[in-house]
Structure 1
């Protein structure tokens, strides 16, 4: 029996070596594809191509009696690794002769990621923290810049926008603040050049951005910054357009409301004297993400979250509406109106199925 087992294992080992050789050859081909994409400025991530590959392999797997889900998992991992091999040291630079890009930031988060991506692509970047700036002596910074990327605090923003008239004509101003209704409107009143609003929905600690999404809001003169959106696509980001009003509505649901309820949940834990350590012990591994959100929330600068919750004029009104919904739901649960609760579940279920 042991000899048969050993023989079968040896055969598996040989197949594993062949599998590694095939993967190595595949990745070498991927590198060549990366060079071609870079030469012609093509994006790394092409969702249609990825879906086609996985659907095709799942059909082939089914014919061979292999679980399609198993093959889907494998090829998702293979394709993800392929993107890393496609990425070379530099991305194609759409504007080879573009002048200096100035980034002013209040911390090293999303703006620092932009700095890294632009540097890798070959642009000339000047990165400055807002705390190191003398607001009364910034004229020299604006000389000969072609783009200004702002990721600044609320207080600094109010002082800084008064200096925007000093910017060179047609300098592209990019606003990274989360609430566009406030920032974009104020910028447009003072600065008459091209303005673009960007907001990210991804982990800013990543150093590779394929399959991530970024929202853009048109401020003014799109023809001047359209190339920059194409540059972002080359990095592997998916670009989505939203109006300023629509953007702020979605940011409310994605960010503001989430942080508001995180604050409520955490306050309730403290009031009830619940041990965070015991919560962690009892959490299933898949639920660690919730604890990660909690830790991130309270280890960050609280002013950032306060601004996200309170800055938009519609946020407070919307939060009150949601508290009304909670009270109504609490009443339904208290009265044990199970049919109503099931109907709510079914509505949400149908919505999720429809949006699959």
Structure 2
């Protein structure tokens, strides 16, 4: 019996080697495709192609008696690895003659654009907000083709008049989360092209394929449409959104999240709850809790204050949030089981109808 098991295991070992060789051949083909995409300025990520591959392989797996979910899991891992090989740390540069891109930033978002633009072959000058000398700014504003700004609102008010010395048609890219506030500061004074961007992903990731960046048109979009195309070449999806709707959505994405963390952590503090014990008891969501708490308290409190307070009608929105909590508490307190079930069903229907798999 043992001899038979050894023989079968040897056959498995041979098949494993065959699998490795097949994967190597597949990745070599992927590199060739990546080179063609690079030469023609095509995006790395084609969602329709990936979706079609997975659908076909699922059907074929089912026909031969293999779990479709198992095959999809394997294929998803292979495809993600393929994107890394296809990218090969180089992207088509759509504006090779563009002058220096200046990035003024106070957090990781600016560093993300610095990294991606360098990989694409652009000349980058990166300055942190705290290191920028406003009295000696003329030298770094010379021969600038684009300026990417990700600074605090008070600092933006200080620097805005200095932007008048930028070259004509220099593209200003604003990365601030609250576009109504930043655009109200920028547009009346700076008359060149203005674009608003807001990344919707964790910038610590190694690969940004399938992630999203929202964008708002500010002025003279014909001058910066190439940059939106450049972002797509990186494999990132871009979505246009109206500035008012953008800020309304960001309120729900960011402000209510911070408001919740603030109220939750205040509750823990007032009740002298041990965070270590909560993290231990809440596994496997320890990492998620730690990530939220850690990132919430490492930045300037003014950022969170702005996100919570600076939206129009934000107090009314927070009031609605609190009312919804009170309504849920009333149902729980009075054991309104059927009404609670209806709420769950409504949320399930909302997710089914609005979230793409």
- Residue aligning to 2:19: 19
Give TM-score, length-normalised by structure 1.
Answer: 0.96
Maintained 8 Å contact 1:215/1:239: yes
Give the C-alpha shift of residue 288 in structure 1: 2.9
Q: How far did 1:290 drift? A: 2.7
Partner of 2:81: 81
**Aligned position for 1:29:** 29
Contact 1:173 1:194 in 2 (8 A): yes
Structure 1 residue 45 and structure 2 residue 45: aligned? yes
Mapped to 2, the partners of 1:344 and 1:209 lie a distance apart of: 35
Equivalences for 1:100-249 in 2 at 5 Å? 100-107=100-107, 109-249=108-248
> Does the CA contact (< 8 Å) of 2:45 and 2:209 recur in 1?
yes
Q: Distance in 1 between matches of 2:110 and 2:262?
A: 26
Partner secondary structure for residue 187 of structure 2: helix
TM-aligned CA deviation for residue 88 of structure 1: 2.1
- Cα distance in 1 between the residues matched to 2:291 and 2:139: 42
Report the Cα offset of residue 154 of structure 1: 2.0
Query: C-alpha displacement at 1:57, in angstroms?
Result: 0.6
Q: 1:230-254: per-residue Cα shift (whole Å, max 9, x none)?
A: 0010111000000111111111111
Aligned counterpart, 1:9 = 9
Normalised TM-score (structure 2): 0.96
Q: Structure 1 CA distance, aligned partners of 2:286 and 2:204?
A: 21
Q: Does the alignment pair 1:293 with 2:297? A: no
The residue correspondences of 1:83-102 to structure 2 (distance < 5 A) are 83-102=83-102
| Greater shift in the superposed pair: 297-306 or 122-131 | 297-306
Match of 1:263 in 2: 262
Q: Secondary structure at the match of 2:134?
A: coil
Structure 1, unpaired ranges of 5+:
none
Equivalent residues in 2 for 1:294-333, closer than 5 Å: 294-333=293-332
Question: How far does residue 223 in structure 1 lie from its aligned partner after superposition?
Answer: 0.3
Q: Quick one: distance in 1 between partners of 2:261 and 2:164? A: 40
The answer as to whether partners of 2:157 and 2:185 remain within 8 angstroms in 1 is no
How far residue 139 of structure 1 moved from its aligned partner, in angstroms, is 2.2
- How far off is 1:206 after superposition? 2.5
Q: Give the stretch that moved more between structures: 86-95 or 39-48.
A: 86-95
Q: Secondary structure at the match of 1:299?
A: coil
Aligned equivalents of 1:11, 1:189: Cα separation in 2: 73
**Deviating more after overlay: 337-346 vs 74-83:** 337-346
Aligned-pair CA distance for 1:229:
0.3
Give the match for residue 57 of structure 2.
57
Aligned residues: 355
Cα-to-partner distance string for 1:39-64 (whole Å, 9 max, x where unaligned) = 00000111111101111110000001
Instruction: Measure, in 1, the Cα distance between the counterparts of 2:336 and 2:69.
Output: 39
Give the match for residue 354 of structure 1. Answer: 353
Are the counterparts in 1 of residues 279 and 286 from structure 2 also a CA contact under 8 Å? no
Q: Which region of structure 1 is more displaced relative to structure 2, 199-208 or 237-246?
A: 199-208
CA distance in 1, matches of 2:167, 2:269: 52
Equivalent pair of 1:113/1:207 in contact (CA under 8 Å): no
CA offset at residue 138 of structure 1? 1.5
